[in-house]
C-alpha cells in the first residue's frame, strides 16, 4: 500500500514553510507568521475558541533545520505506521497526537514556567511523536542505523528501534523537567509520544493487524508460520525495556497529577491588556500584554508577565514589579503618580533565546484606575528607556481586554492528560504482545 497520507502531510508542511519563509530566503519563518499561526496556550485559556491554532501550528515550522528533521522522521517512521493502520486511521493518529501534544505543553507550562504560556509554539513534532510512539509498539524489533560525528568523521551503528525511541522519549521528559526556560516544547514531544501509544488500541484494525503479522512472520520464517502458527510465538517488549518505559511514563503522570492538584487548590487569574505605545518621534505601535497571578492561603504570587515587543515587555515588567498592574490595596481606586513617587528600574529581557538585553527604565508619570480585584483597568505611563546607550522617551496606554480564571479548563486538560498517561501505561504493561508485529 502506498503511504499517500504521509506523502501528503510532507507536501503540506513543505508548502506552508515556503509561504512563511520566502521573505528570509527559506532559512526561517518570519516572526509575523509564527505569531499568526503559532499556538499560544494562554490565548486558549483566555478564549477557548482560539484553540484552532493547535492545528495551524502543527503545519508551521520555525526554520529550515526544524522542518527538514521533522519531515525526515515522518518519512522514516510514518510509512510503516500508515501501512499498518490504513490511511484515515493513520491521519487520525497524527492529528490527535498533535492535539494531545499541545495540551500536555499547556498543562506542564502552567505549573513549570507560566511565561511559556505566552510564547508561540510551532512544528509537527508533537504529531510525529505520536507516530513514533505507535511505531515503537508495533515494530520494536526493527533495526535502525544511527550515526554521529566523532572528530568530524561519521560513525554509524545499528540498534533496535525500541532502544532508540525509548532513549529519545526519556530525553524529552528529562529535558522537559530540567530546561525550564528552553524554547523547545519537550513536554509536547513527550505528550504526543504517549498519545500515540494510548490511541493505538482505538485506531488499530485487528483484521489488518493479523494480515501484517502473518506477512512479517512469513518473511521471517520462510512461510512456515503460514501453515504452523504455533511454531512462532509472538512476544512484546522485554521486561527491562518495559520497566524503563513505564518509569519514564510515570514521570509524566507525576507532572500531570501535580498540575491537577495545583489548579484545583490555587486561585489563578489571567489578565490580558492591549498596549498602544509610541516614542517621542515615530510611529504608534500596538502590543498585547498578559499578567497572571495566583493566590493560595492568602499569598499572592505573580505568575506571568509577557508581551510581544521588547518595549512593551519592559513597561509591563516595571509596572508589575512596582505593583501598578495588580495590587489588592488599589482595588476600586484611581491614582496619579509623578517622578518622585515612581521607582527607577533595571530589567533584563531576552531578545533571542540566548541574548539578554539590559534596559534601564525611568518612569516619570503614571495614572491608572483599578477594578474591585485590584487589576489595572486603564493606565497611562510616560518613561525613558535606555538600552545599549540609546535613549528613548515613550508614552503608553494600557486597557484591560479580558480577566478570566482558567482554573476549570486547566483542571479538565490536566485530567485528560492523566487519563492519556494511564491509558499508555495500561497498553505498555498489559497489551504490548497484542500489537507487536516485529518483536524485540
pLDDT in tens, 352-365: 545 667 888 888 89
Grade residue 288 by pLDDT with cuts at 50, 70 and 90.
confident
pLDDT given for residue 406 in this prediction: 85
C-alpha cell of residue 434 = 497484542
Give the whole-number percent of the chain exceeding pLDDT 70.
88
- Tell me the C-alpha distance between 86 and 1, whole Å: 9
pLDDT in tens, 116-161: 787 888 999 999 999 999 999 999 988 887 776 666 777 777 889 9
Q: DSSP strand E in 212-343: where?
A: 267-279, 285-296, 299-307, 334-338
> Of 49-53, 130-134, 378-382, which gets the smallest average pLDDT?
49-53
CB 395 within 8 A of CB 277: yes
pLDDT in tens, 384-418: 888 766 788 888 899 999 888 888 898 999 999 99
Domain range 4-264+408-435, CATH architecture: Up-down Bundle (1.20)
**Domain-by-domain residue ranges, the chain?**
4-264+408-435, 269-405
H or E stretch covering 365: strand 356-370
CB 317 within 8 A of CB 350: no
H or E stretch covering 376: strand 376-387
CB 306 within 8 A of CB 118: yes
Q: What average pLDDT does range 175-186 have in this prediction?
A: 78
> Which residue blocks in 86-203 are alpha helix, DSSP H?
87-112, 125-138, 161-178, 186-203
pLDDT in tens, 330-340: 999 999 999 88
* Mean of the per-residue pLDDT values of the chain: 86
376-387 vs 345-350, strand pairing mode = unpaired
Nearest in space to 57 (alpha carbons), one of 75, 70, 72: 70
Tell me the helix, strand and coil percentages in the chain, rounded to 5.
55, 25, 20
Collect all residues with Cβ–Cβ distance below 8 Å to 169 and sequence separation of at least 6: 132, 133, 190, 193, 245, 248
* HSE toward the beta carbon, residue 237, CA cutoff 13 A: 24
pLDDT given for residue 227 in this prediction: 43
Give the whole-number percent of the chain exceeding pLDDT 90.
47
C-alpha cell of residue 91 = 491521519
pLDDT given for residue 350 in this prediction: 59
CB 105 within 8 A of CB 72: no
3-state secondary structure of 306: strand
H or E stretch covering 316: helix 310-321
Grade residue 223 by pLDDT with cuts at 50, 70 and 90.
very low
Q: Residue 291 pLDDT > 90, yes or no?
A: no
Instruction: Give residue for cell 545499528.
Output: 158
H or E stretch covering 366: strand 356-370
Q: How many residues does the chain have?
A: 440
- Tell me the C-alpha distance between 181 and 196, whole Å: 27
- Tell me the C-alpha distance between 74 and 185, whole Å: 18
DSSP secondary-structure letter at 438?
A: S
CB 122 within 8 A of CB 57: yes
Q: Residue 163 pLDDT > 90, yes or no?
A: yes
Q: Residue 228 pLDDT > 50, yes or no?
A: no
The alpha carbon dihedral of 376, 120, 268, 51 has a sign of positive
Amino acid at each position: 500500500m502506498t503511504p499517500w497520507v504521509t506523502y501528503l502531510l510532507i507536501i503540506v508542511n513543505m508548502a506552508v514553510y515556503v509561504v512563511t519563509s520566502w521573505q528570509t530566503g527559506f532559512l526561517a519563518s518570519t516572526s509575523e507568521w509564527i505569531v499568526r499561526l503559532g499556538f499560544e496556550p494562554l490565548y486558549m485559556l483566555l478564549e477557548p475558541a482560539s484553540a484552532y491554532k493547535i492545528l495551524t501550528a502543527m503545519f508551521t515550522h520555525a526554520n529550515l533545520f526544524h522542518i527538514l528533521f521533522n519531515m525526515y522522521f515522518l518519512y522514516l517512521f510514518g510509512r510503516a505506521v500508515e501501512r499498518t493502520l490504513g490511511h484515515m486511521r493513520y491521519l487520525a493518529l497524527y492529528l490527535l497526537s498533535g492535539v494531545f501534544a499541545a495540551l500536555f505543553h499547556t498543562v506542564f507550562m502552567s505549573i513549570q514556567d507560566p511565561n511559556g504560556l505566552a510564547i508561540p509554539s510551532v512544528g509537527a513534532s508533537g504529531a510525529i511523536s505520536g507516530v513514533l510512539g505507535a511505531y515503537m509498539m508495533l515494530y520494536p524489533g526493527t533495526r535502525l542505523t544511527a550515526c554521529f560525528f566523532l572528530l568530524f568523521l561519521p560513525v554509524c551503528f545499528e540498534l533496535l528501534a525500541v532502544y532508540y525511541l525509548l532513549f529519545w522519549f526519556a530525553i524529552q521528559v528529562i529535558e522537559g523537567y530540567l530546561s525550564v526556560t528552553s524554547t523547545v516544547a519537550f513536554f509536547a514531544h513527550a505528550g504526543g509520544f504517549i498519545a500515540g501509544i494510548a490511541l493505538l488500541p482505538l485506531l488499530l484494525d485487528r483484521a489488518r493487524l493479523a494480515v501484517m503479522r502473518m506477512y512479517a512472520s512469513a518473511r521471517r520464517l520462510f512461510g512456515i508460520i503460514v501453515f504452523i502458527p504455533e511454531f512462532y510465538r509472538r512476544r512484546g517488549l522485554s521486561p527491562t525495556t518495559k520497566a524503563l518505559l513505564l518509569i519514564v511514563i510515570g514521570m509524566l503522570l507525576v507532572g500531570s497529577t501535580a498540575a491537577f492538584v495545583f489548579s484545583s487548590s490555587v486561585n489563578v487569574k489571567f489578565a490580558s491588556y492591549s498596549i498602544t505605545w509610541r516614542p517621542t518621534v515615530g510611529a504608534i505601535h500596538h502590543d498585547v500584554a498578559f499578567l497572571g497571578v495566583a493566590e493560595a492561603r492568602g499569598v499572592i504570587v505573580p505568575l506571568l508577565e509577557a508581551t510581544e515587543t521588547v518595549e512593551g515587555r519592559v513597561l509591563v515588567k516595571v509596572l508589575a514589579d512596582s505593583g501598578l498592574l495588580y495590587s489588592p490595596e488599589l482595588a476600586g481606586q484611581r491614582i496619579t503618580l509623578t517622578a518622585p513617587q515612581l521607582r527607577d528600574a533595571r530589567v533584563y529581557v531576552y531578545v533571542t533565546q540566548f541574548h539578554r538585553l539590559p534596559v534601564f527604565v525611568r518612569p516619570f508619570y503614571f495614572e491608572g484606575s483599578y477594578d474591585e480585584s485590584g487589576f489595572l483597568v486603564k493606565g497611562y505611563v510616560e518613561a525613558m528607556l535606555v538600552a545599549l546607550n540609546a535613549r528613548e522617551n515613550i508614552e503608553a496606554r494600557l486597557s484591560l481586554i479580558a480577566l478570566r480564571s482558567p482554573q476549570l479548563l486547566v483542571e479538565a486538560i490536566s485530567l485528560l492528560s492523566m487519563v492519556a498517561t494511564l491509558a499508555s501505561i495500561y497498553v505498555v504493561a498489559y497489551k504490548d504482545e497484542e500489537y507487536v508485529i516485529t518483536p524485540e
